[in-house]
Structure 1
Amino acid sequence: MIELLRLAAQQRPTQDAVVTTARTTTFPELLEQAESVAANLVARGITRLAILDEDPINVFVLLAGGSLAGTETCVYPLAATDEAIAEYRERFDHEHLATSRTSLLDAGALSSVELIESTGAPVPESAPEDAGLMVMTTGTSGKPKAARHLWSRVLRTTARIKPSHDQTWLLAYALNQFGGLQILIHVCAAQTTLVAADSFQPKEGLEAMRRWGVTHASGTPTFWRFVLVELEGDGGELPPLQQITMGGEAVPSALLERITATFPDANISQIYGATEFGQNVTVRDGLAGLPISMLSSDGDVQFKVEDGELYVRSKASMLGYYGQEPIEAENWRATGDLVEIVGDRIEFRGRKSEVINVGGVKIHPLPIEDRIGKVPGVDLVRVFGRANAMVGSIVAVEVVAAAGHDTEEIDRAIRTATADLPPAARPRSIRFVESMGTTGNKLTRTAPTA
């Protein structure tokens, strides 16, 4: 990571590298701070470091400095409570935490600012080949894990990234997420500008896109659904997007159609990947799912389907989860994504953990969500299993209705749209809600408790 930053600082010394509402920094400024971090980490003998800082610029230089020092870094989610942070530190054996949160500083954590400030300690010349980092999973369906990676593997794809100085990227993923890390790496390799809003909420992301003229934005399908809702609600101007990328969740055809209609001049791509893979696969044909040709690819990422589940192996894969046995890069790994081959597409049917068992019949939620998502007046939809004494579970639906639409009409339209589904797959409960829970701008997939 530090070598990318050094090259960007040399070739684009006046380029705005990261822009926030509080400040703007250049690549040379980032490099100076990252080298200071590296010097301080080596001087203090810190080989493993957790990071929790609300300033993305600080997180950037702590990660880059860690890579130069050979310090394994791990970014914690900003939404985590002090109690959760304490649990992470114990579970992941993080003696050292760099943070901007006052309550944690009072409890003995390191100040990010102090770690960034120069002390005159000697700066390492080059990063070790085995410099590592840990990336936490979002925990949308369970307790977050930490995937152990090597910077050398994660940076494999940067050789294909060409400098693109006229691009402005939005940071729509938190930097504790693999998606956020990938954007950070891309911006550094492309020597272009990254814009960070005050939060990762879609409303503030849209405001940032308008304010700074963002041309490229990557976010989860849930993020883009909420952006569309905001656009329809405020009637403001469209940001000048040239590239829209969606990843982190299955991308339904209903959303692809709405995004294409709203931004007809933008290139629209889907990325498929996971924290464990260490890299993403990009699909640019505008169709939901993956092309079947990927099953015969011999590239860095390879796929196969067994018993309806997608398997992957990647040359940039994680070393393993922290605290568990290491894995071999050449081994196939079950993704947990259930798929079906339809014609020349690999279509996603949902996570293995989300299958709804209705009287012994296995129902996949995503095709039902996609169908309901095309009903006029539906802004957001989630399909899940609700416990039932007679059949085990029933198909339940939660819907966020668009402003100005009658919920009774939407209810009738949903039942009409799903009437030709097999009986077990038809929604038995349709509930309208004001909002839906998200984790890392992904829909929280566990069934509601009430």
Structure 2
Amino acid sequence: MYLQWLIERMAGWSAEPALIWNDCTTTYGELIDRVRFWNAFLDTHQVAPGEVTTLEGDYSPAAVSLLLALIERGTIVVPLTKAVEAHRKEFLEIAQVESVVHIDEQDRWQFTRTGRTADNPLIATLREAGDPGLVLFSSGSTGKSKAALHNFARLLEKFKTPRQRMRTITFLLLDHIGGINTLLYTLSNGGVVISLRNRDPEAVCQAIERHKAEMLPTSPTFLNLLLVSHAYERYDLSSLKLITYGTEVMPESTLTRLHELFPHIRLQQTYGLSELGILRSKSKDSGSLWVKVGGEGFETKVVDGVLWIKAHSAMLGYLNAPSPFDEEGWFNTNDMVEVDGEYIRILGRKTEIINVGGQKVYPAEVESVLLQMENVVDAVVVGEPHPLTGAIVTARVNLAQPESPQAFRQRMRTFCRERLASYKIPVKVEIVDSEQFNARYKRVRR
């Protein structure tokens, strides 16, 4: 019922490829057959509409077809991936999961019941409406994860409008709003979903070459790693038409380098949140950080430099936190922005601003400069309390080759003096070996 329009559309492409997983192709017709299998499976295991069901897996034929079957049945889906394995028990409890389907790396599945009965008031409200649901957890990169409950029917509406068919890399995970958006966009337009064995630059470039991928939705952190790795030099990426980036602020130096290296590829900034869905966006041009966001079902406004959004597809609320919406339904993104007519430039989260003696420092601006330095692979900038200035700028950097901390600090200060105001130059620098991003390839500033 909820996906009849999509199933009918997919049936028109029955012989065409829908999904490439482990270098094996599943057609749209085969995907529909798998959805029928899962419908029978869920009947056998008495999974009822409104039941809270976790799907544990990645973009495999079993996982993708099960997701479609769960939506069609009207269940409340809680997708989880290996990236959140450490939080699995906590997430199952918060979402009050009643049944779990675990799909392993060989695409085999196991069904279990948890013995719970979901009684969260928001879940009850969704059940009364009779619509399918989706629970997404925030990444928790700056604090405790929150569980956003969506009415899935609202999220599906925008995919009914036909758009461009693309062969798409599924870089963003299945338990991420961007991953769900990528999957549904691709399937609803007859594209090809290209699954990855892993998400390092080598594997991604290999998949682009082998399967003639046209679109790569990813993060600025990954794109910086791609540049540093030089993996793009070892593979033919000529099929790639579009790279979209979001989830965090893009360093200007990274975007500039990408645009120079790939002038034939359109670079487009995206914007979305677990609480609201993905907005339509349009970058001023491939080399610009100015972007227009909004589209049908979204309203935006800027108050005191902060972006606020009202969305038809907004979540019903958090399962484990108070509602963040004001009385009129506006959501404070906490993203500081500059405005130029219809375009905005995202500067960074309000909570991440470093206040140095009354002067504002945005970490992304400093990181952009540090990433231009020779031998710097990655850089994360944060504020640290200081008794005189209120805070100081500190930087954690990863280096390609060993370098003495003293020599690097001196070289960094000389480099930054020509490019940054004095109060923005890191006072404290730490050279680290560990990765500074999470499984979603998003910088971790904690």
- Does the pair score TM above 0.5? yes
1:161-211 alpha-carbon deviations (Å, 9 max, x no partner): 3362xx321011110011110110111111111111112333322221122
1:411 CA drift (Å): 4.8
Structure 2 match to 1:31: 32
Structure 2 match to 1:65: 69
1:49-69 alpha-carbon deviations (Å, 9 max, x no partner): 011124532221121111111
Q: Tell me how far apart the structure 1 counterparts of residues 331 and 254 of structure 2 sit (CA, whole Å).
A: 29
1:160-171 alignment to 2 at 5 Å? 160-162=161-163, 164=165, 167-171=166-170
Relative to structure 1, is the Cα distance of residues 73 and 227 closer, same or farther in structure 2, using a 3 angstrom cutoff?
same
Structure 1 match to 2:94: 91
Relative to structure 1, is the Cα distance of residues 234 and 42 closer, same or farther in structure 2, using a 3 angstrom cutoff?
closer
TM-score (norm 2): 0.84
Structure 1 match to 2:310: 313
Structure 1 match to 2:282: 283
1:413 CA drift (Å): 5.1
**Counterpart selection for 2:103 from 97, 100, 103:** 100
Structure 2 match to 1:56: 60
Number of aligned positions between the proteins = 422
Structure 1 residues not aligned, in runs of 5+: 112-127
Q: Which amino acid aligns with 1:132?
A: G
Relative to structure 1, is the Cα distance of residues 200 and 109 closer, same or farther in structure 2, using a 3 angstrom cutoff?
farther
1:134-149 alignment to 2 at 5 Å? 134-149=135-150
Secondary structure of 2:270's match? strand
Secondary structure of 2:159's match? helix
1:106-157 alpha-carbon deviations (Å, 9 max, x no partner): 998369xxxxxxxxxxxxxxxx972221222222212222211122211232
Q: Which amino acid aligns with 1:98?
A: V
Residue identity over aligned pairs, in percent, reads 24
Structure 2 match to 1:267: 266
Matched, 1:439 2:443: no
Structure 2 match to 1:178: 177
1:72-221 alignment to 2 at 5 Å? 72-81=76-85, 84-100=87-103, 109=112, 130-162=131-163, 164=165, 167-221=166-220
Native 8 Å contact 2:222 2:441 kept in 1: yes
Relative to structure 1, is the Cα distance of residues 218 and 234 closer, same or farther in structure 2, using a 3 angstrom cutoff?
closer
Native 8 Å contact 1:161 1:186 kept in 2: no
Q: Tell me how far apart the structure 1 counterparts of residues 221 and 352 of structure 2 sit (CA, whole Å).
A: 17
Q: Tell me how far apart the structure 2 counterparts of residues 69 and 106 of structure 1 sit (CA, whole Å).
A: 19
Q: Tell me how far apart the structure 2 counterparts of residues 4 and 141 of structure 1 sit (CA, whole Å).
A: 39
TM-score (norm 1): 0.83
Q: Tell me how far apart the structure 2 counterparts of residues 329 and 148 of structure 1 sit (CA, whole Å).
A: 19
1:363 CA drift (Å): 2.5
Structure 2 match to 1:236: 234
Relative to structure 1, is the Cα distance of residues 218 and 415 closer, same or farther in structure 2, using a 3 angstrom cutoff?
same
**Counterpart selection for 1:45 from 47, 62, 69:** 47
Native 8 Å contact 2:78 2:95 kept in 1: no
Native 8 Å contact 2:205 2:232 kept in 1: no
Structure 1 match to 2:333: 335
1:246 CA drift (Å): 0.8
Relative to structure 1, is the Cα distance of residues 151 and 207 closer, same or farther in structure 2, using a 3 angstrom cutoff?
same
Q: Tell me how far apart the structure 1 counterparts of residues 111 and 37 of structure 2 sit (CA, whole Å).
A: 22
Q: Tell me how far apart the structure 2 counterparts of residues 408 and 8 of structure 1 sit (CA, whole Å).
A: 62
1:250-280 alpha-carbon deviations (Å, 9 max, x no partner): 2222121111112111111110111111222
1:201-229 alpha-carbon deviations (Å, 9 max, x no partner): 33322221122221211101111111222
Structure 2 match to 1:115: none
Q: Tell me how far apart the structure 1 counterparts of residues 405 and 236 of structure 2 sit (CA, whole Å).
A: 28
Structure 1 match to 2:119: none
Structure 1 match to 2:372: 374
Structure 2 match to 1:365: 363
Q: Tell me how far apart the structure 2 counterparts of residues 237 and 250 of structure 1 sit (CA, whole Å).
A: 27
1:324 CA drift (Å): 4.5
Deviates more, 1:235-244 or 1:215-224: 235-244
1:344 CA drift (Å): 7.4
Structure 2 match to 1:301: 298
Q: Which amino acid aligns with 1:217?
A: L
Q: Tell me how far apart the structure 2 counterparts of residues 188 and 233 of structure 1 sit (CA, whole Å).
A: 29
Q: Which amino acid aligns with 1:331?
A: G
Q: Tell me how far apart the structure 2 counterparts of residues 171 and 107 of structure 1 sit (CA, whole Å).
A: 24
1:391 CA drift (Å): 4.3
Q: Which amino acid aligns with 1:91?
A: I
Secondary structure of 1:223's match? helix
Q: Which amino acid aligns with 1:199?
A: N
CA-atom RMSD in angstroms: 3.2
1:424 CA drift (Å): 3.0
Deviates more, 1:401-410 or 1:421-430: 401-410
Q: Tell me how far apart the structure 1 counterparts of residues 173 and 23 of structure 2 sit (CA, whole Å).
A: 17
Native 8 Å contact 1:170 1:196 kept in 2: yes
Native 8 Å contact 2:178 2:278 kept in 1: no
Secondary structure of 1:446's match? coil
Relative to structure 1, is the Cα distance of residues 21 and 408 closer, same or farther in structure 2, using a 3 angstrom cutoff?
farther
Q: Tell me how far apart the structure 2 counterparts of residues 316 and 256 of structure 1 sit (CA, whole Å).
A: 30
Q: Tell me how far apart the structure 2 counterparts of residues 134 and 29 of structure 1 sit (CA, whole Å).
A: 27
Native 8 Å contact 1:418 1:426 kept in 2: yes
Q: Tell me how far apart the structure 2 counterparts of residues 6 and 106 of structure 1 sit (CA, whole Å).
A: 23
Q: Tell me how far apart the structure 2 counterparts of residues 108 and 154 of structure 1 sit (CA, whole Å).
A: 27
Secondary structure of 1:79's match? helix
